[in-house]
Each structure stands twice: as structure tokens, then as C-alpha cells.
Amino acid sequence: TVAARAGRAVTLCARNAEHAARIASTRENPRLPGVQVAAEIVVTSELALAARADMLLIATPAQHLRGAVNMLAAHLTKPTPIVACAKGIEHGTRKFMTDVIAEAAPHAQPAILSGPSFADDVARGLPTAVTLAAKDEALASALVQALGSPTFRPYHSTDVRGVEIGGAAKNVLAIAVGIAVGRKLGASAQAALTTRGFAELARFGRALGARSETLVGLSGLGDLILTCSSLQSRNFALGLALGRGEQPPAGKLAEGEFTAPVLIELASSQNIEMPVSEAVAAILSGRSTIDAAISGLLTRPFKAEE
């Protein structure tokens, strides 16, 4: 929808032929109810048709990106830019999204799009700004020109890793903040936890070579603020339900649940302290109760702020 609004000729590809046929006839995707899929958008389930595009945006969950790109790679006939829209880190390999694309489609040009952008807001034409990163600045800039419009303002960057880290880590931290809100710890705790969450996101990012401007930018701090403060966020909503002792919302993808264990594996392999993310992983895996995790965080030794 964003690309069509920017004047591009768009093909929307769904993996399931029946879903594609339904979207083509109703002009509505059941995953985004109430949003009209513009008449000029071609809807298909044929990857070969989609693969002819000059630019590909892949919006599967992070853990399914490799499978989707593997299937797509067989149909690519040129070094097409492939933009990851997923936010996460692959289990097992501990790879970030553009590394997964580079492995699965070695002749493609990987890029990453991330930032504060609830799909529902964006599809309805509400304004936001995001970051689009590729190793090659000219490519990142060309992709921004292709996708940007007055309501969707991408900024280009070459800090691919920084953008990937912000998007992956903020989901885990939003679960933590949701838990705190669900436990009624108060608005001050919400702000304090979001800020200490950012401190560990930035620590992790710097250790992995991300630039500070990226970490405090749209795809880092920007998306963290959005996700840690909005009921619209599925990650925040998951944490909120856990904090309240309720069943988490069914059938909603909360990427932080999948990112938490691999994020802390990566962090501990590099000796990076991420106590909030560790607490989330421990709660989700059943290694800690919520109350023990909160008490563990609040009784850590006092130290200098950094």
C-alpha cells in the first residue's frame, strides 16, 4: 500500500493461493481488516511473478525469512534489492535479517526497513518516519526515493546492523515494559524501565558495531518508545497479559518472544550485560517467576549510569 501510494506498480504475493484469490476479489487482507487494497495492486500467489519486480519487500515473521527467500531465490534473474521488513534474529544461526537474505539469495542486494510503524497506522495513511538501510548508500537512497511519500518518510542509512539491532531488541524490551504495566508498577517504573532498556539496547548495539546516531534514531529509540508505550503493540500486549496473570492474546505474532532467547545468547557470547532482556527470556521460558524477575532487577548493585 505504501509503495502504491508512492506511485510504484505493486505486486502483492501471498504464499497461499486461496488467500491471494480472496484478497484479490474482496480487496481486503483479513490480517489488516478495514484497509482497502488498492485496485491497481496485483495480488498473486505466484512467486515467479513477484520475483520480476525491481525491488522486493519481504514481510514474513523473522524465523520464516530464510524459507521465504530460499523459495524466491530460485526465481531471481537479476541482483534485485530485497528489503527485510521483519524484526528479529534467526534462531540457531543467530543471524540478523540481511545476513539471512545474503545467504539465501547470494546475488540479491539485502536491505532493512525498520522504525516506528504499526502496519495499521501506515496502511491507513497516518504519517510516520522510518529508517531504510543498505550497505551501499546509493542503493539505500534509491530505495527511499522509491518508497517515500508525504505520509511515509524513510531516511536512508548504511548502518544496516544498527537498524537490525534496534528492531529486534525493542520487541523484547516492550514485553518487559508491558509486564511492568500489567503488574501496575506505575508510570515512573514504565519510563525507568524503557530507559534502562534503551541503555542495554545501545550497549549491545555499540558492541556489535552499530552507530550511536542509529541507536538514538527512528529504528532504535523511536521504535522503542512506540512499542513500550502503546497497547497497539503486540509485544507490549503480550507483556501486559503476562503481568496481569492473564492468557496472552491468541494468534498474534509477538516477535520478542522468539527474539529474547537468541538475543541473550548473542549478548552473553560477547559478555554484554542485558539484564532486562535476560529477565524477559527467563520469564518466557519459565526459568523465573515475574515477581522474582522484578525483584532481581530492582536489587541489582547500585552503579554509575551508563
Ligand X SMILES: NC(=O)C1=CN([C@@H]2O[C@H](COP(=O)(O)OP(=O)(O)OC[C@H]3O[C@@H](n4cnc5c(N)ncnc54)[C@H](OP(=O)(O)O)[C@@H]3O)[C@@H](O)[C@H]2O)C=CC1
- Contact residues for ligand 13P (CB under 6 A)? 87, 116-118, 171, 174, 223, 226-227, 233-235, 255
Residue 31 binding ligand X, by CB under 6 A = yes
Q: Which is nearer to ligand 13P, 80 or 90 (CB)?
A: 90
Residue 218 binding ligand X, by CB under 6 A = no
Strands (E) across the chain are located at: 11-13, 42-44, 56-58, 81-84, 109-114, 128-134, 152-157
Instruction: Identify which range of 45-53, 61-69, 104-112, 192-200 contacts ligand X by CB under 6 A.
Output: 61-69
Residue 255 is labelled as binding a ligand:
yes
Question: Rounded to an integer, what distance in angstroms lies between the CA atom of residue 130 and that of residue 143?
Answer: 12
Strands (E) across 24-97 are located at: 42-44, 56-58, 81-84
Please name which of 218, 85, 82, 89 lies closest in space to residue 156, comparing C-alpha atoms: 218
Torsion of CA 251, 168, 221, 83, to 10 degrees: -90
Smallest separation, CB 190 to ligand X (Å): 21
Residue 119 is labelled as binding a ligand:
yes
Question: Rounded to an integer, what distance in angstroms lies between the CA atom of residue 154 and that of residue 128?
Answer: 8
Smallest separation, CB 9 to ligand 13P (Å): 26
For residue 199, the Cα-to-chain-centroid distance in whole angstroms is 19
Residue 193 is labelled as binding a ligand:
no
Active site residues: 170
Residue 253 binding ligand X, by CB under 6 A = yes
With CB under 5 to 8 Å by kind, the binding choice for 233 among ligand 13P, ligand X, none is ligand 13P
Residue 29 is labelled as binding a ligand:
no
Q: Which is nearer to ligand X, 255 or 257 (CB)?
A: 255
**Type of residue at 3:** A
Residues facing residue 109 across a β-bridge: 81
Instruction: Identify which range of 42-50, 114-122, 150-158, 199-207 contacts ligand X by CB under 6 A.
Output: 114-122
With CB under 5 to 8 Å by kind, the binding choice for 287 among ligand X, ligand 13P, none is none
Smallest separation, CB 170 to ligand 13P (Å): 7
280 burial via Cβ count (<10 Å: 0-12, 13-18, 19+): buried
DSSP type of residue 52: T
Instruction: Write the interaction track for ligand X spanning residues 115-154; mark x where CB under 6 A is met and - where it is not.
Output: --xxx-----------------------------------
Three-state DSSP class for residue 107: coil
> Is there a contact between 114 and 167 (Cβ–Cβ < 8 Å)?
yes
Smallest separation, CB 47 to ligand 13P (Å): 25
Residue selected from 87, 95, 156, 161 as contacting ligand X according to rule CB under 6 A: 87
Question: Rounded to an integer, what distance in angstroms lies between the CA atom of residue 227 and that of residue 34?
Answer: 22
Please state the residue numbers annotated as binding site. 15, 87, 115, 117, 119, 170, 223, 233-235, 252-253, 255
Residues that bind ligand X (CB under 6 A): 15-16, 19, 31, 59-62, 64, 67-68, 85-88, 117-119, 253, 255
